[in-house]
Amino acid sequence: MGALADRQVVLGVAGGIAAYKAIEVCRRLGDAGARVSPVLTAEAQRFVAPLSFSALAAEPARTSLWDGPETSPHTLLAQRAELVIVVPATARLLAAYAAGLSDDLLTATLLMARCPVLVCPAMHTEMWEHPATRDNVAKLVARGVNVLEPADGHLAGGDSGPGRLREPSEVLAEAERILGAVASLAGRMIVVTAGGTREALDPVRFLGNRSSGKQGHAVADALAGRGASVHLVTTADLGAAPGVRVERVESAAQMEAAVMPLAAAADAVVMAAAVADFRPKVVAGSKVKKDGGVPDVILEPTVDILAELGRRKRPGQILVGFAAETDDVLANAADKLRRKRLDLVVANDIGAPGAGFEHDTNAVTLLAADGSERVLTLRSKRAVADALADEIAVLLGS
Cα(302)–Cα(233) distance, integer angstroms: 17
Enumerate the H helices of the chain as residue ranges: 19-31, 50-56, 73-80, 91-99, 105-112, 125-129, 131-142, 168-183, 214-225, 252-263, 305-312, 329-339, 381-397
C-beta separation of 230 from 223 below 8 A: yes
Helix (H/G/I), strand (E/B), else coil: 339: helix
Give the max Cα distance, the chain. 82
Q: Rounded to the nearest 5°, which phi and psi values hold at 10?
A: -90, 125
Q: How are beta strands 361-368 and 373-380 bridged, if at all?
A: antiparallel
C-beta separation of 225 from 182 below 8 A: yes
- Burial class from Cβ neighbours inside 10 Å (0-12, 13-18, 19+) for residue 69 reads exposed
Closest CA to 388 of 234, 238, 275, 272: 272
Cα(315)–Cα(158) distance, integer angstroms: 59
C-beta separation of 393 from 190 below 8 A: no
136 is catalytic: no
- Burial class from Cβ neighbours inside 10 Å (0-12, 13-18, 19+) for residue 145 reads buried
Q: Active-site residue among 146, 209, 348, 362? A: 209
Which residues form the catalytic set?
209
